[in-house]
Chains A and B, each alone.
Chain A
Amino acid sequence: MTKNISILSIFGVIALIVVGYNAQKMDLNLQNSSVLTGYTLIVVMLCVALLNTRKKLSMIPLGKASSWVVFHVVGGLLCVALFWVHTNTFWPKGLYEGFLAGAFYLVSLSGIFGYLIQRLNSRKLTETGIEVIYERIPLELREIQEKAEEYILECTEATGSDVLANHYLNTMVWYFQKPRFYWSTLFGAGNAKVWFRSEGASVKRYLSSDELEYFRHLEELVELKILVDTHFAHQNLNKKWLLLHVPLSVGLVIMALWHLLLVEVYAL
């Protein structure tokens, strides 16, 4: 895939040079180069936006989605360069143009961010050593919680002590209820482990050897939950960035078309 991106990037750079050269030539001939660069930009933008349509039409042989993604990435970067050629500035004047530029930058940045985090997250998820389907994560967490509560009940019945049970109710139940330490998990800070260690240290001195055995079982469950939480955090981010990128892209295309209409009607 990286190889394909490199090859297509060469074509992208060539296309940019051709458009830039012709635009400069038009400017020197006192013609309006914005028409050329603007139309090129919107055509490339529309082509890039077709990736989502391709995903919906998976039953038709429209080529491999990975090739479309390569085009999407390279085309998207080309759009950024074309945008600067078209506007001749980082931030254009005018309120509407400002909104348009803002939307454009947000779409571009969210796209770059999404692409990069997807690549990074894949490896992080593999390194957990387990595989959990995103939609099944609540079920997995529920099972872990039930298992933890089974241990607590068993411990209380077997040892006659409620120290661990109280500890669970006062502190641990919060942790087992749902994914926790979202941001720390995303950044790999390991706060969950630190939290459990410190909470555990406070109660361990009151536990008998039998209770400590159950505590160790809880520890194992916490370790498993950390892995599931890791899947939740990274898979969640893998999906969430699209909630920003896709609607903004649709908005951007609409705004760009409106801009084109205004230019065609009033400026040319």
Chain B
Amino acid sequence: MAEQQIQTQPQSAEHTMARPQRWAQPFDSNMTDQDVDRLLSESQLKDIDSEKFPKHIPLGGILKNDTRLVKFTPGEIVVREGDYGNSAFLVLSGKLRVVLSPSLPRDAIGRSEENTRSLFEAFSQLWTSNWLPETRDTSKYSLDELMAGGSNESARVVLQDIPAILDKHNTGAIETGALFGELAALGRIPRTATIFADEDAELLEIRWQGLRELRAYNGEWKRMIDERYRETALAAHLLESEEFGHLDDDQIKDVADRCIFETYGSFDWYTSFQRLRSQGKSDEPVIARQGDYPDGLLMVRAGFARQTVKHGNGIKTINYLGAGNNFGLHPLYSAWKNPDASEDLALGSGLSALGYVDVVRVPASVLAEYVFPNIEAPVNTIEVASQKTVAEDALLEWAVDERFINGRQTMVIDLNSCVRCDDCVRACANGHDGNPRFRRHGKIVDNWMVANACMHCADPVCMIGCPTGAIHRSMSGGMVVINDDTCIGCGTCANSCPYENISLVQIADKQGMPVVDEATHRPIMKATKCDLCSDQLGGPACVRACPHDALKRVDFREFAH
């Protein structure tokens, strides 16, 4: 915001300010022009042709505003397996090590062990729960820097006893000049391995926006990123699909080589979603337009897309597609099967991006060669969807508009059955030291309320940017949980959650005295949310406590249909 200057004109009733620019908030405000010059002389970057970049997004600007220099000492973890991140790393100097197998223990990388309480421990909550709100045993916060509150830089987890790790785990070296983390950053998928510094190392961290530009305007970077994706992830993705599962390795490689990668929408859609919704606007870039002729099958690799048809003066949502879903197979098949048919083979529906969508476009020629001869005529989804009335689709339309389709364990309350007794809230508090982790309040459609409880999303944007990895997916159940011990209360997750389901609370010690930072005397905060009673016996207490079966945890993919 340094470059934004607010000017007040007393003569007018208006306030004016400089229009916010792309780089109003650089990744690291400490990056200097000298740093950029040094980077441009590094072997990995010096060959990039800066002339290819548009004037409004110069290479120097990308390096200055979308990257930062980070140093790691031996043992410090750079990325953690299972974390969601929005940046890639280029090794400028030093050596890193990637843990291949087996994975490092959860406690070694700053994750809490997933322990379920015993029956006695569960029962003992009756008398061990504190009457005071949000109390903590502060002695468990062993990392002093975690108590400092809010500093993203200071909170790194250091691996102890590296020789023992090297003995027990199969690791690989990452040398100077290597790029890593770009697939997780661009594809919104979890990091697949833990990487730590083997010796003093300097890395260039490139946030996804910069990575996207480098890929877009530099052929070598695009080739490098796409090639790595083709080698590592695309083949597996194709083999998992119904259409390409029968192909052998050579055929899969051929298909992968001929695929085209596309991304739509904003990676950080969650930052603008609420604002746009409140203004009655939406930002849904078109992927395919109804009436256009398809040139390839669109396979959604990450994110969500809305499938629509024109209806009266508006558009009607008939389906939404997530990772693993395809679009356009039916018209392509029809065109292949009946090349001389007189019927209109244009797309009968449109597709638009809900937030960030990563798409693989498989050309029609590939389908004709490998897929169509081996499959039955695909179902025409539009025909199926058109049998539904507008009223029947109202819940789906609403769920897509509100992005609730992201939820995998969404708390839905049938208000026609709910007697507003709040037994669910009490049960939640009973299992969380007297502190409820959701609010029986939320958006309503018809007789359904989606309560303000963590939905354990398919695309957990709350995880992006957590400096300590405190918020993570549980390995056992896949629910999104927060490790209270390593949460530094920076609020990144709470600000990122588009559904306002994460709260920051001020903590107190066991006697109820507020805990404050010793240097600044600012309160120590912790992020809290529904953890689906992951450490309790019997699953979510809220569901079990509802006396009228009004409260459910649902996967919105099924519920909305």
Where the two chains meet, the residues of A that have a C-beta atom closer than 8 Å to any C-beta of B are 1, 55-61, 63-66, 68-69, 118-119, 121-123, 125-126, 129, 131, 133-134, 235, 238-239
Contact = CB atoms under 8 A, between A and B. Distances in A.
A123 B420 CA distance: 11
Contacts of A133: 420, 422, 440-441
6 A-B pairs closest in CB distance: A61-B538, A58-B427, A126-B415, A118-B419, A66-B549, A69-B547
Most buried by B among A55, A63, A126, A133: A126
What is the interface residue range for chain B against chain A? 35 or more
Interface centre among A61, A119, A129, A134 (most CB of B within 10 A): A61
A69 B423 CA distance: 13
Nearest to B541: A58
Interface stretch (B65-73, B120-128, B155-163, B298-306): B120-128
B416 A126 contact: yes
A134 B420 contact: yes
Contacts of A60: 119, 122-123, 537-538
Interface in B399-447: 415-423, 426-427, 430-431, 440-441, 444, 447
- Chain A CB count within 10 A is highest, among B119, B440, B544, for B544
B522 interface: no
B419 A59 contact: no
Given A57-B123, A59-B125, A59-B536, A64 B549 contact: yes
Given A58-B544, A59-B536, A122-B419, 16 more contacts: A1-B417, A57-B126, A58-B423, A58-B545, A59-B537, A60-B122, A61-B544, A65-B544, A65-B545, A65-B546, A121-B419, A122-B548, A125-B420, A131-B415, A238-B420, A238-B421
Interface in B441-471: 441, 444, 447, 449
A140 to B, nearest CB: 12
Given A121-B419, A122-B419, A123-B416, A66 B548 contact: yes
Nearest to B432: A59
A56 B541 CA distance: 12
A65 B418 contact: no
B430 A58 contact: yes
Given A59-B126, A125-B420, A131 B548 contact: no
Nearest to B431: A59
Contact of B444 (A63, A69, A122, A131): A131
A122 B449 CA distance: 13
B544 A63 contact: yes
A233 to B, nearest CB: 12
21 contacts: A1-B549, A55-B426, A58-B423, A58-B541, A59-B126, A59-B431, A64-B543, A64-B546, A65-B546, A65-B547, A66-B549, A118-B548, A119-B419, A122-B415, A122-B416, A122-B417, A122-B418, A126-B415, A133-B441, A134-B420, A238-B419
Residue of A56, A118, A134 contacting most chain B CB atoms (<10 Å): A118
Contacts of A118: 419, 548
A61 B441 CA distance: 26
Contacts of B426: 55, 58
A232 to B, nearest CB: 11
B546 to A, nearest CB: 6
A43 B541 CA distance: 28
Contact of A66 (B119, B126, B547): B547
B548 A1 contact: yes
Given A57-B123, A60-B537, A65-B547, A235 B420 contact: yes
B401 to A, nearest CB: 18
A122 B207 CA distance: 50
Nearest to B536: A59
Contacts of B549: 1, 64, 66
Contacts of B447: 126
Contacts of B536: 59
